[in-house]
Amino acid sequence: MEKIAIIGAGSWGIALAQLLANNGHDVTVWSIIEDEINMLKEKHEHVDKLPGVKLNESINYTTDLKGAIEGKKILVLAVPSPFTRSTAAKMKEFVTKDQLIVNVAKGVEEATLMTLSQVIEDEIPQGNVCVLSGPSHAEEVGRGLPTLVVVGAKKKVDAQYLQNTFMSDVFRVYISSDILGIELGAALKNVVALAAGIADGLGFGDNAKAALITRGITEIARLGMAMGGKFETFCGLTGIGDLIVTCASVHSRNRKAGYLIGQGKTYSEAMDEVKMVVEGVYSAKAAMGLAEKYDIKLPIIEQINKVLFEDMSAREALGNLMLRDKKIENPGVEWED
């Protein structure tokens, strides 16, 4: 049995708390919101984020960050990406070098163009930062539905340790050394999912969505490999796998926000209606910053930025993608003559 802190009581943090508690671990959930903690203590259910999921009664809940962190081997950082830096800064004085910090949020920081593990390392230099990602909606993990994910770590021994901690008969965990590739796939797929949702909102059909998913992973891999990520990572669970589920699932907040934008709402109105943080909106500008830094063309992500921040209509943006210059799909495949 391991002692584990979940830092953040959103849907994903609570789903992982449930998984880990059911695996027999000693789990403490921290939230800065006192009413949220009181509700979890009283009802053993997150009635707003994971309604209907009755939580393991062994889970502890607290608003005391120091108390949550001290004495724990694993710290699962599960706050939304815009709050990763500020939360890590609060954690810094309590974290020791023998603790593992597992980031499970998805995004790129707009101001610095850092991945979230880099942000955490910037704030907690003594931290041993790992990541967990993959096609894993909290609504399904919380209900114990079969899910496959990947743990990324600098040291194989740490990855294997986390693999053994998280893995269950319904939650299969693979391991990888490609932390950068895992995080980029996780962050950028949210932007492509906005595009897929917009296409649905416009009524464009399954053909258009399949094209956006396929060309979307091409863009993600193009940028990710330029930054040092591995091609195989983008072909795996944290690349194409996570992209598929985020573009297609009814649970996807990014797809839902895109759908609302496709129906004519602004991104602010869409975010208000979704009632949860839409990570793709925050990652969209960062993705374009990375594209400029590494001189990489990202047509889908570029058009999404124009819809979000330049008042371009959704229909015009997707039309621009259809009318781009004629291309060869795979320039590396040679003609016979």
In sequence order, what are the residues at sequence separation of 6 or more whose Cβ sits closer than 8 angstroms to the Cβ of residue 150?
132, 133, 134, 173, 174, 175, 176, 182, 236, 237, 238
Residues 152, 229 contacting (CB under 8 angstroms):
no
Residue among 303, 292, 306, 321 at smallest CA distance from 110: 292
Angle at 77 between CA 72 and CA 80, to 5 degrees: 160
Residues 48, 16 contacting (CB under 8 angstroms):
no
Buried b (16+ CB within 10 A) or exposed e, 153-173: beeeebbebbbebbbeeebbb
What are the beta bridge partners of residue 148?
172
306 is catalytic: no
Q: How many C-beta neighbours within 10 Å does residue 98 have?
A: 8
Q: How far is CA 191 from the centre of its chain?
A: 11
Active-site residue, selected from the candidate residues 189, 230, 256, 285: 189
Residues 4, 26 contacting (CB under 8 angstroms):
yes
Spatial distance between the Cα atoms of 178 and 239, rounded to a whole number of angstroms: 12
Spatial distance between the Cα atoms of 15 and 163, rounded to a whole number of angstroms: 17
Any idea which residues carry the catalytic annotation? 189
